Structure 1
Amino acid sequence: METALTALVGVRHPIVQTGMGWVAGPRLVSAAARAGALGILASATMTPEQLRAAVREVKSRTDAPFGVNLRADAGDAAERVRLIVEEGVRVASFALAPSRELIARLKDAGVVVIPSVGARRHAEKVAAWGADAVIVQGGEGGGHTGDVATTVLLPQVVDAVDIPVVAAGGFLDGRGLVAALSYGAAGIAMGTRFLLTSDSTVPDPVKARYLAAGVKDITVTTAVDGLPHRMLRTELVTALERSGRAGALLRAVRHAAAFRKLSGLSWSRMVRDGLAMKHGRDLSWSQVLLAANTPVLLKASMVEGRTDLGVMASGQVAGVIEDLPSCAELVGRVMAEAESVLARLEQLHGSGTLPPAG
């Protein structure tokens, strides 16, 4: 299936595996890339040295195109951009809108720039600055998310920009791919669905917790870092929502110390990053600290298997996922189902059941 996305990045199928912290490492990314999707490494939880090693590991496993997700507001964003240019990475994606200067630097080096956005105005801004495509995440998506459903947000963005739009938030199968294409998207991006594969390194007990969850077990809370964050409801989430300001600050300082040790960042650097997050937002200092060290909370679950102490970011689709296929099986299944749906629609159209387009 050829779309504007496959033509832009050189993959076989219009599917993106998103850059999830502690999840989208070399094993998952290379498996997704070999399956014909666009795999994206998550770099926010890596030092620059670890990122370089991860990029080289993916390249040793596959010659298919892949990308790296970057934090546009990170203090070392320019260094990481230089790294992916040096390593010949095909795609740079961003969790927040990158600056005009970062986009220009990447495009000058031949890197495809695909920011993720959650609002029409953000898509318009990065398109005007030269982004090659955008990933648009509706409120159903996991992690930091908005409150506008994909079915409402996606057509707005498709109508507003003239670059390829990739739909994210609520996708897990071929029916969703066809639905996104019908809205004018060039493909779909999936996080939770790729997390729940046999190629994902997430511990089995954590995967089991996801598989056992129903749709109503997935919540949006601001208690973790002050921003709307979709995740499984866990003991930690409940405790954070019930704790007072003093308890939240104490917990945030403890996690911040752990993140500093893990990342090698100085306290001054963490404060600068925290101030960047606080800018323009009504966040308490405990929320700023939590925002700066949310990776530690994710690591507790996604790496250490501590479902009682960690955060498990999750799209709503976790409530209807029931198995753990390999990436190859998943992508093959999605594409086969999409072709079947398209054939059925064509049959309906040919029989006159559907009116002619236009």
Structure 2
Amino acid sequence: MHDAPPATPLCRLLGCRLPLVLAGMGGVSRSELVAAVAEAGGFGFLGMVREPLALIEREVVQVRQRTALPFGVNLIPAATPAPLLRAQVDLLIALQVPVVSLFWDVDAGVIARLRAAGITVVHQIGSAAEALQAQEAGAQALIAQGVEAGGHVRGR
């Protein structure tokens, strides 16, 4: 029998057993994979950048049908038209999504709205300056991206 891994501050914040996080990769991180990661003890983010509201809602519902464990949704405010971003944030608040991860430019207004709704905010950053901006805006955890990252590389 194996001893349980020690709970880390990140595990306590996200509500997972293992400090393993599935990135919100567009087109890949969908409900089946996110739920499987959660059931395995990690934490998964649905990749929902610029996705329509109906798809976001369907994917959130499907995660909840597959697992009762926490999960998150990934958005990129700087890459999303403002009206769609507002509607996405409204939807995530209405659906009571427990965690939202953000990337690219720090949008303090989005972070404030999510935090006011009781949603945990994780922000992916690519520099020390961005880390400080995200922290000052209220992000509760940071994902430090390096230059080797796939997808949207911002690491310096």
Same fold (TM over 0.5): yes
Q: Which amino acid aligns with 1:43?
A: M
Which AA in structure 1 matches 2:70? Answer: P
Answer yes or no: is the 8 Å Cα contact 2:48–2:74 preserved in 1: yes
Once residues 114 and 43 of structure 1 are traced to their aligned partners in structure 2, the CA distance between those partners, rounded to angstroms, is 15
Specify which of 3, 9, 18 is matched with residue 14 of structure 2: 9
TM-score (norm 2): 0.90
Please identify the structure whose Cα radius of gyration is greater. Answer: 1
Give the match's secondary structure for 2:57: helix
Structure 1 segments (4+ residues) deviating >6 Å: none
Q: 2:26 aligns with which of 5, 21, 26?
A: 21
SS of the aligned residue for 2:77 comes to coil
Question: In the alignment, which residue of structure 2 is the partner of 1:233?
Answer: none
RMSD of Structure 2 on Structure 1 (CA): 1.3
- Partners of 1:96 and 1:49 lie apart in 2 by 24
How far apart, CA to CA, are the structure 2 residues paired with 1:143 and 1:31? 22
Give a deviation string over 1:165-216, Cα, whole Å, max 9, x none.
Answer: xxxxxxxxxxxxxxxxxxxxxxxxxxxxxxxxxxxxxxxxxxxxxxxxxxxx
**Structure 1: unaligned runs, 5 residues or longer:** 149-358
Higher RCO (Cα < 8 Å, 6 or more apart): 1
What TM-score comes out, normalization by structure 1 length?
0.40
* Corresponding position: 1:131 with 2:136: no
- Which residue of the other structure, out of 29, 33, 47, is the alignment partner of 2:38? 33
Matches within 5 A, 1:292-331: none
Counterpart Cα distance in 2 of 1:97 and 1:109: 21
Work out the CA distance in 2 between the residues paired with 1:135 and 1:32.
18
Kindly, what percent of the aligned residue pairs are identical?
36
Q: Secondary structure at the match of 2:24?
A: coil
SS at match of 2:144: strand
**Number of the residue aligned with 1:56:** 61
Q: Does 1:89 align with 2:97?
A: yes
Whole-angstrom CA distance in 1 between matches of 2:13 and 2:111: 16
Unaligned runs of 5+ in 2: 1-5
Q: How does 1:1-358 map to 2 (within 5 A)?
A: 1-44=6-49, 46-73=51-78, 74-75=80-81, 76-146=84-154, 148=156
Displacement of 1:45 in angstroms is 5.4
- Specify which structure has the higher proportion of helix: 1
Q: Identify if the C-alpha distance between structure 1 residues 146 and 80 changes in structure 2 by more than 3 Å, giving closer, same or farther.
A: closer
